[in-house]
Structure 1
Amino acid sequence: MALTALAPAKVNLFLHVGAPGGDGYHPLCSLMAFADFGDRLALQPADAMELKVTGPFGAALDGAGDNLVLRAAHALLAEARRPVAPFSLSLDKQLPVAAGLGGGSSDAGATLRLLREAAGLQIEDARLEAIAAGLGADGAACLWGRPVVAEGRGERLSPAPPFAPVDAVLVNPRVPVSTPEVYRRFDARGRFGEVTPPPAPDAFESAAELAAWLATLRNDLEPAAIDAAPEVGAVLETLAGEPETLLARVSGSGGTCFALCAGDIEAEGLAERIEALAPHWWVRRVRLGGPWE
């Protein structure tokens, strides 16, 4: 019998990025929320460990040998230090690749959770988070898929102020955006952000209140992402000009943008209009919050 897990899309509601340190890494501060939509991972017994990738964006992955799903599995098996019965993993890739949605990190997190459960591994949550963090900057946050404020390289997590699930629309121009290239352009600009967590209310009572607070913040990588892929700027401009949009912003290093809406009717109307205006874009109506399973 297969075990399955959602690997939800990650959205950076804000993302402040500081100057790189001596090790070349940029400190950051970000509020991350997770969509009720994403990739789907399944694990079941098999004669040998293997990974099957399907879905509309499966062909866009670099190759099974470097897939974060397999890297996560091997890292967990090394931590277990005992034999584990062979298994197969199936990844249904529903999220665009190189899209600023943390798809690879979320896939890795789902792998760690599923494999620990399936193999009955006695590995504590804190150690699982450390393994996830070692797989990428979004790894620790994407492991559990719940709203968090991430600091440092993304490994220092604290709970986000509570908010009810927010209706939103995700739009990607189907243009992959290279994170290293975005950071290269960001560094060249030299406009580094403050990475101290901004003052926030104890809780947000509505989507409008959350959007108003976020409007005082920013995504420091947004200009560099638009420089790297002007199509991202076209998506952002389109979303920002629609009446249902409370706030439009780029997520992560691009190229997906999101629009927060007051409710599901507004989000549905916005998604339908964007699909009609630009049928070649990837559009999904979602709720942001988490965890969803």
Structure 2
Amino acid sequence: MAIEAFAPAKINLTLHVTGRRADGYHQLDSLVMLTDVGDRLTVERARETSLIVVGAMAAGVPADRSNLVIRAAELLGVSAKITLTKSLPAMAGIGGGSSDGAAAIRALCALYDLPLPDRETLSSLGADVPVCMEPELVRMRGIGEEIDRLDTPPDWSMLLVNPRVSVSTPRVFDEMGERDNPLMGCPFPNWQAFDGVIKWLADQRNDMQKAAVGLQPVIGLVLSELSQTNGCALARMSGSGATCFAIYKNASERDEALEMMRRLHPDWWCVATRRVGARFR
């Protein structure tokens, strides 16, 4: 018997860096949603755990213990033959590795009829793994372990664009100036009211964006070009970069922008997306 699981891309709609702990970890306050583009895993029972990585983005993805998929099996104390089909770019600010780990947990628990681990246990696998288990719109705080479910994510038409450069999260933190920044603004808006949410989001930040653009100036080009597309309501970098997202009020404007970006930059990774919805399982 084989079990499949979807590993959706994670978007940090906001990412406020609010402090640094004594142990060096940074405190965050972030609004997070999962999207309907992502990787896919298949797991089967086996005497020993093995990992095969295939797909358009498989190059350079490790198949050893440095991959959270392998460590997920170790965490659960099970073994499996695992096939990971990579569609998301690596080190891209959209939680690909963490989402793969979370999907492996879900698939292996289903395969072996195990209960899902609690958030503290999941955090031991990786700080972003717990939030990648949540299909709802969530507020993530602390180093990723504090998660508040807010609502069903808005069903926006969105673009994800990565100029195929990697950004080191530790380097971005090193380049940041101020690390004690304000939390997200409250009260929160009605998440299903487009204009109100966009206005609220525009007043929030990604505190890592400036440093990431300094390290990889092409990110600034991505943001500039997305902002100028017809119907773009908001463009911002996700996570520590280099993937940027753009939100549109309707799919026709989004698809027009997608066609233009692919024509101007055929070497960039450009995909249309929306909330994860029924694909999350």
TM-score, L = length of structure 1:
0.90
1:74-89 superposed matches below 5 A: 74-77=74-77, 84=78, 86-89=79-82
Could you tell me how far apart the structure 2 residues matched to 1:38 and 1:64 are? 21
Matched with 1:148 is 138
Matched with 2:256 is 269
Identity of aligned pairs, percent? Answer: 39
For structure 1, list consecutive stretches of 5 or more residues without a partner in the other structure: 78-83
Aligned mate of 2:121, from 120, 128, 131: 131
Change (3 A) 1:227 1:278: same
Runs of 4+ in 1 over 6 A off after TM superposition: none
The answer on 1:215 being equivalent to 2:202 is yes
For structure 2, list consecutive stretches of 5 or more residues without a partner in the other structure: none
Per-residue CA deviation, residues 13-41 of structure 1 (Å, 9 max, x unaligned), is 00100221211111111000011110001
SS of 1:225 mapped into structure 2: helix
CA positional deviation for 1:161: 4.0
Matched with 1:80 is none
RMSD: 1.7
SS of 2:275 mapped into structure 1: strand
Q: Letter of the 2:105 partner, please give it.
A: L
Could you tell me how far apart the structure 1 residues matched to 2:85 and 2:152 are? 31
Matched with 1:257 is 244
The answer on 1:108 being equivalent to 2:101 is yes
Aligned mate of 2:85, from 88, 92, 113: 92
Q: Across the two proteins, how many residue pairs are aligned to each other?
A: 280
Greater shift, 6-15 or 38-47, is seen at 38-47
Greater shift, 46-55 or 252-261, is seen at 46-55
Matched with 1:192 is 180
Per-residue CA deviation, residues 200-248 of structure 1 (Å, 9 max, x unaligned), is 02x3233333222100101000001111111111111111111221000
TM-score, L = length of structure 2:
0.94
Matched with 1:231 is 218
SS of 1:27 mapped into structure 2: strand
Q: Letter of the 2:13 partner, please give it.
A: L
Could you tell me how far apart the structure 1 residues matched to 2:43 and 2:255 are? 33
Q: State whether residues 162 and 270 of structure 2, in contact with CA within 8 Å, keep that contact through their aligned partners in structure 1.
A: yes
Q: State whether residues 207 and 261 of structure 1, in contact with CA within 8 Å, keep that contact through their aligned partners in structure 2.
A: no
SS of 2:195 mapped into structure 1: helix
Q: Letter of the 1:52 partner, please give it.
A: I
CA positional deviation for 1:271: 0.7
